[in-house]
Structure 1
Amino acid sequence: MAWIALVAPVVAAVLIIAVLGLPAALALRLRGFAIALVAVPAAFAVLALSTVVTPFVGISWSLIPALGIAILLAAALWLLRRWLGAPALSNSGRVRHAELWIGLGAAAIGGSVIAVSLASGLGSPGAISQTFDANFHLNTVRYILDTGSASPFGMELTTPGSPGFYPALWHAFVALIVQLTGATIPLATNAALFVVSAVVWPIGAVALGRAVAGPSTHVTIVSGALAAAFPNFPLFLAGYGVIYPNLFALTLLPYLLVAGLQLLNLGPARRSLPLAPGTRWLLFLGALGAAVLAHPNVIHAALAWGMVPVLMVAWRALRDRPVLGPSGLLIQPAMAPALRRVGAALGVVALIVFTTAAWIFGQTYDNAWQGFYGPRSAALQLIGGTPHLAGHAWTVSLIVLLGAALAWRHRGLRWLLGSAAALAFLYWVSDGFPSSEWRTMFVGPWYNDPRRLASLVPFGALPLAVLGASAAWSMLRPGLRRFATLRARHPERTRRLLAGFAILFLLAAGQAGSFSALQSVREGYDSRKALLLDHDERALLERLDEDVPTGEVVANNPLNGSSLSYALADRAVLFPHTNGNYDPRAYTLVGTLVSDPAAACAASADLGVRFVLDFGTDYIFENAGKVWPQFAKLKQLDRSPLLTEVDREGDAVLYQITGC
């Protein structure tokens, strides 16, 4: 029954997407599954634009300015519809209506499996991730609620007085859920996690599957089922880090890839999801903008995936080869061959320049993470379908292999092999080799982290799996129909039952390698291990406002969960996250409460800090005290002559500075 608490925040999150995204889709006169394809990224593009605009016009962050921008955007699109081009509508209205609901139903198949796995992993609807970055992400939501600003250019939570750029679209989304429902920040965060993982991602997966394998019903259903077949994404990433913005950006990546395929006219993308020429560009730019403001390294993932398709299209243009027409047949383009060649050459040059710049300027600091496997073992991880995770998903791997064979036989789809190989290569480099300059050159944009690179592999494998599973169904279907006709009293009912069993088999096959990913999520949210915040500490924080007046700032140690005083109790702390650039006097205060009372009193008076939280020395990392020695002396506070105990829950203590 506890999970009922998540219903309202989840419904609010879905309604935010629908209310902000549907006006643009309807203004563009879209029908069928194209409505969902455009509405989802449009909603987040509107949110992203709103986060940038609202501070300049002096409006606090809420749904109202976002709704206003959504209406203005829809009005502009309606006025410009003549120049954007008319969508190609080859089917009747009833067929297009059915296409939308079949697509959403297919997404719900995979989304339901993902949602169940997430619920099992989290354990409770208000669970808090027991990971290093949880302090930052939950506190950033509170920062937006308190300041009324979600601008990515004005974030100063960890750099007080020095605002800088940080992609805060995830946190702005969660803040809206809190505002609309009154949910706690952990509850709203988990609602957003469920929605982006079990709604946004499966819809994108269905769109991507249709774009490479065609618009048939069985391709649509297969794509939805396979959205839950890869444990590395989104399940594993939901518990790792915890890097909510990275996961969020990757759930938007399929929409960007589908728009790219539409623009490049590759595969059946244009026939599967008919869009007007102008709408293709709007989808591409909107999905790109939203994804980048969710997390900028989605650019690198998109470039790695799209490099081979772009080069393939350029090669065809240089040779003046025919292209796919609206009917799916090859036709000779109207553009003059010389112009095609010039455009292709310029496109290749632009791609090389942009990719080089992205890799140079998008390098993160050289993290010390080594590859966990050697080259051979990392390759086996890839072949087994669960890179970096224990266990293998051989059935899914065989389906992907079948899809790869089909893509190779079909010249128009060979680029899929290049996209899959590029992402697999990046993972192999990160997990198969020790830290080095050449390794950083390839995987630096992802902090040299094999786990982040492993989460990209499904984006190359999914289209191949859709091809393979769709082909397998096409081969099995005649036999199943014959069996139903000869052996059953009600052939049609039996055929549907067998089709249902086939879907269940595909779902079960996809869960074969998910146990280790599920265990990772469970460990990441297990409050019994209390890597960040145990039950006693959370109980103390949830009643902190009874003893600490509004407006007070609490001294704390960011190596444990005391930083969450801000997110849970709306009481600011000196150190909302471990990393940051804080007032030197704050470090003086937490370092001298026991050893130098006079210095502590001076710092306390300067900062106006009268309360201290002591959550002990069970830090988020074993060696955290050595890595951040500035917090090493914030311990044994019961010996300080300055402090008086105000509240206690187990070993978690709230002190007041009374001895100055």
Structure 2
Amino acid sequence: MSWWHTILPLGITVVAVFVPGAVLARCAGVRGLTLAAVSAPLTVTICAGTAIVAPRLGVPYTPVVVAIATVIVALLALALRVAVLLRRTDLSQARSWIRPGATRSTARDYPLVGDPRVTGILIGLVSLVLPLYIIGLRYVRGIGKPENISQTYDNIFHLNAVQTIISTGNGSSLTLGNLTPTSAGFYPAAWHDLVAVVAELTGASVPLAVNATNIVVAALVWPLACLFLVSRISGGRLLPMMLTGVLSAAFSAFPYLMIDFGVLYPNHLAIAMLPLAIGLVVDVLDVGSFRPESVLTSGLLLVLMLPGMALAHPSVVVALVAFVFPLVLAKLAQQLIRAARGSVPRRRAIVWAGLTVLYVVAGLAVWIVARPDPSTYTWQPVQTAAQAVGEILGAAPMFAPISWLMLVLIAIGLYSMLRQRRQWWIFGMFLVGSALFIVASSMPVGDVRSFWTGVWYTDNFRLAALLPIVTVPIVAIGAEFLVRHLVTDLRRLLERRAARQPVAPAGDRSRVLAGLQERPGIVYGSVSLALVLIIGVLGQNPSLEVRQDSLIARYAMTSTSPLLDSDERALLDQVDGLVPAGEQVLANPRTGGALVLALADRRTVTPHVAGQRSPAEQTIIDHWDEAAFNTTVCAAVRDENAYWALDFGSREVTAGQHPYPGLNHLEGTPGVRLAAEVGHARLYELTACRA
């Protein structure tokens, strides 16, 4: 299959990811950029919430059930709007919630004034289409073929979890666990729930649905979230919005790192939504340059999207708690200053002081409770603090080549913020993100490092992926500062030259001056747009090429692929025609055999490396090859319908050897028949227990 054949599945994926949330948001009165940005996160909440509720109601989790849930919550949102309208006597006040969207600052950029329709088209093309093209193209090149899979340990679980949801109709995060009834428990399943909906709507294989969903999240959800956050900082001005669009595709740490390392698909989804959550907090606290007419709507949207983000990956909610802390301090400082000046009552400042203390206490509680067991803190420091600082400033964490453009833009952005002395919480947020990465990547192993970064398993990669969230506003500010000064200097230079033209006829000089003064949008808007495009091109730095090359190696299907090689994949393609539906297959998951569930839709005794086993399952794992002479084996085999086994050799995706005793002696064993083989990969049937 070529990528051209995936155009329809990709289009359906966009619909599946955005439409449910868009219906809910529109019924809540949301419009414009906010509508576009919140749609996907609200869809995630709808899918994850429906997956939890559906089993309790005795109905399967399917796209139809998700559609019904969407209609229900959308009608509730609409009813709430109507109730607000009816309860308020002042309709002008009610309208502020019914039709939100006004801004504190609607001033347009001087270099980009002109026809609003043309301006809107330019913004759409540059801000969204360019990152869509750039990120999408890099994902396509990195993944290779549409149905390639990441050859990594975590992918055993992720692919099988999606197929488990499709097969069982149960995608509840409360019970997904390790994919077997005996190991049911909590696992954040929002990403898996979303991919399951995509797979069922498109009819695509699980690998294709996974890749399509990840592309849509990276190329659409992420840039929209960045645009929303920067709009709150810039007041919705056009130039920083366009710059944000092109620069959102210039970070190697996100989105690319999360589908390369791990793979960490749930983090990939949750982090893509994080800038939106921060932007909504900016609205609620009123510390930005963009004020929606209704803080209530922004708060409601934040409340609605947080469950989806938490059920994608809880650690990203903890990151939100940390990144929002400077915003809370900024709000407190704002109220204290206003109280000192007499513009607000002192009791309001006292209330905010109390709320700040409450936030710190609650935040520390979340920080402590959300940390996993310390035995999972296996990641070690990898560099010095000085090296970590250099990687942060060069937008090149985890040993990627430095991006000189990003280094310059970060420096200019920091200078611009310090000079203007406003919205300093942006700098505070940058310091928080940087400090977490420095602690994880350079601080010696100990209690301090574990306390601050244990939520992320002290994993440098997870914290590196958070750096673009706190860096996007700074590079947007720096790029705007640079472009504005270049355009302003160009305008002055052209005007001086036109005025001093000694030989040009007066009429020509007048026409030049008139063109510069009367139609600046055409002249300087074109220059600004050209500079934005140049920055976008220069932003595609060597660190992105390194990450793309790493993706190519990670997703390549070869005869030596670490998880599932070409022989093994070819054999799995035959399994559904050989193994009857309802019968199980025994396989060592570390050799890739467990992917018979995701790729052939056949149940396996071991769908994941981890997980508790029932006595019958353990008997099969340890003694399957002894069925001809061990009388206890056939009883277990019949209980589990486990008449088949895959032998993919001893090469495992992780270091070391973890043999499955029941697979040790299959060739030539009495009562075991070779059913199919491709190269070294073999499928066996246990005929000894068929009688």
Residue 116 (structure 1) aligns with: 137
Alpha carbons of structure 1 residues 583 and 590: separation in structure 2 relative to 1, 3 Å: same
1:261 aligns with 2:247: no
Give the Cα–Cα distance (whole angstroms) in 2 for the partners of residues 15 and 544 of structure 1: 32
Residue 526 (structure 1) aligns with: 556
Alpha carbons of structure 1 residues 579 and 97: separation in structure 2 relative to 1, 3 Å: farther
Q: Which of these two proteins has the greater Rg computed from alpha carbons?
A: 2
Residue 12 (structure 1) aligns with: 12
Residue 648 (structure 2) aligns with: 615
Q: What SS class does the counterpart of residue 514 from structure 1 fall into?
A: helix
The amino acid across from 2:591 in the alignment is: N
Matches within 5 A, 1:552-567: 552-567=583-598
Give the Cα–Cα distance (whole angstroms) in 2 for the partners of residues 16 and 115 of structure 1: 18
Shift of 1:320: 3.8
Deviation string 1:274-327 (CA, Å, 9 cap, x unpaired) is: 34121011111122122111111111110121111112212332454589xxxx
1:348 aligns with 2:356: yes
Question: Contact 2:179/2:607 (CA < 8 Å) preserved in 1?
Answer: yes
Give the Cα–Cα distance (whole angstroms) in 2 for the partners of residues 39 and 499 of structure 1: 30
Name the stretch that deviates more: 187-196 or 385-394.
385-394
Give the Cα–Cα distance (whole angstroms) in 1 for the partners of residues 590 and 679 of structure 2: 19
Residue 586 (structure 1) aligns with: 617
Give aligned-pair identity as a percent: 30
Alpha carbons of structure 1 residues 416 and 577: separation in structure 2 relative to 1, 3 Å: same
Of 346, 365, 370, 1:337 maps to 346
Alpha carbons of structure 1 residues 437 and 540: separation in structure 2 relative to 1, 3 Å: same
Residue 368 (structure 2) aligns with: 360
1:193 aligns with 2:214: yes
Matches within 5 A, 1:211-610: 211-270=232-291, 274-321=292-339, 332-333=343-344, 336-338=345-347, 340-365=348-373, 366-481=376-491, 498-512=527-541, 513-528=543-558, 529-593=560-624, 598=630, 600-601=633-634, 603-610=636-643
Alpha carbons of structure 1 residues 278 and 99: separation in structure 2 relative to 1, 3 Å: farther
Question: Contact 1:33/1:99 (CA < 8 Å) preserved in 2?
Answer: no
Shift of 1:220: 1.1
Name the stretch that deviates more: 274-283 or 301-310.
274-283
The amino acid across from 1:67 in the alignment is: A
Alpha carbons of structure 1 residues 302 and 99: separation in structure 2 relative to 1, 3 Å: farther
Residue 125 (structure 1) aligns with: 146
Question: Contact 1:136/1:577 (CA < 8 Å) preserved in 2?
Answer: yes
Question: Contact 2:243/2:532 (CA < 8 Å) preserved in 1?
Answer: yes
Question: Contact 2:152/2:562 (CA < 8 Å) preserved in 1?
Answer: yes
Shift of 1:482: 6.1
Q: Matched residue pairs, number?
A: 642
Q: What SS class does the counterpart of residue 580 from structure 1 fall into?
A: coil
Name the stretch that deviates more: 180-189 or 22-31.
22-31
Question: Contact 2:45/2:190 (CA < 8 Å) preserved in 1?
Answer: no
TM-score in terms of structure 1 length: 0.91
Shift of 1:521: 1.6
Q: What SS class does the counterpart of residue 646 from structure 1 fall into?
A: strand
**Unaligned 5+ runs, structure 2:** 86-93, 108-113, 499-510
Shift of 1:483: 7.0
Question: Contact 1:590/1:631 (CA < 8 Å) preserved in 2?
Answer: yes
Question: Contact 1:403/1:467 (CA < 8 Å) preserved in 2?
Answer: yes
Deviation string 1:463-503 (CA, Å, 9 cap, x unpaired) is: 11111001111111134456788799998877565444322
Give the Cα–Cα distance (whole angstroms) in 1 for the partners of residues 120 and 189 of structure 2: 31
Q: What SS class does the counterpart of residue 685 from structure 2 fall into?
A: strand
Alpha carbons of structure 1 residues 636 and 380: separation in structure 2 relative to 1, 3 Å: farther
Question: Contact 1:426/1:453 (CA < 8 Å) preserved in 2?
Answer: yes
The amino acid across from 2:303 in the alignment is: L
Shift of 1:601: 4.5
Deviation string 1:236-264 (CA, Å, 9 cap, x unpaired) is: 11221111111101111111111100011
Alpha carbons of structure 1 residues 615 and 175: separation in structure 2 relative to 1, 3 Å: same
Residue 327 (structure 1) aligns with: none
- Aligned CA RMSD, in angstroms, stands at 2.8
1:22 aligns with 2:22: yes
Shift of 1:28: 3.4
Give the Cα–Cα distance (whole angstroms) in 2 for the partners of residues 520 and 606 of structure 1: 44
Q: What SS class does the counterpart of residue 254 from structure 2 fall into?
A: helix
Question: Contact 2:487/2:524 (CA < 8 Å) preserved in 1?
Answer: no
Residue 649 (structure 1) aligns with: 678
Deviation string 1:65-109 (CA, Å, 9 cap, x unpaired) is: 3223323333333333236743254779x9998887665431222
Question: Contact 2:182/2:614 (CA < 8 Å) preserved in 1?
Answer: no
Alpha carbons of structure 1 residues 602 and 32: separation in structure 2 relative to 1, 3 Å: closer
Give the Cα–Cα distance (whole angstroms) in 1 for the partners of residues 494 and 152 of structure 2: 52
Question: Contact 1:616/1:635 (CA < 8 Å) preserved in 2?
Answer: no
Q: What SS class does the counterpart of residue 272 from structure 2 fall into?
A: helix
Give the Cα–Cα distance (whole angstroms) in 1 for the partners of residues 101 and 387 of structure 2: 48
Question: Contact 1:393/1:509 (CA < 8 Å) preserved in 2?
Answer: no
Give the Cα–Cα distance (whole angstroms) in 2 for the partners of residues 357 and 98 of structure 1: 50
Give the Cα–Cα distance (whole angstroms) in 2 for the partners of residues 98 and 54 of structure 1: 46
Name the stretch that deviates more: 372-381 or 594-603.
594-603
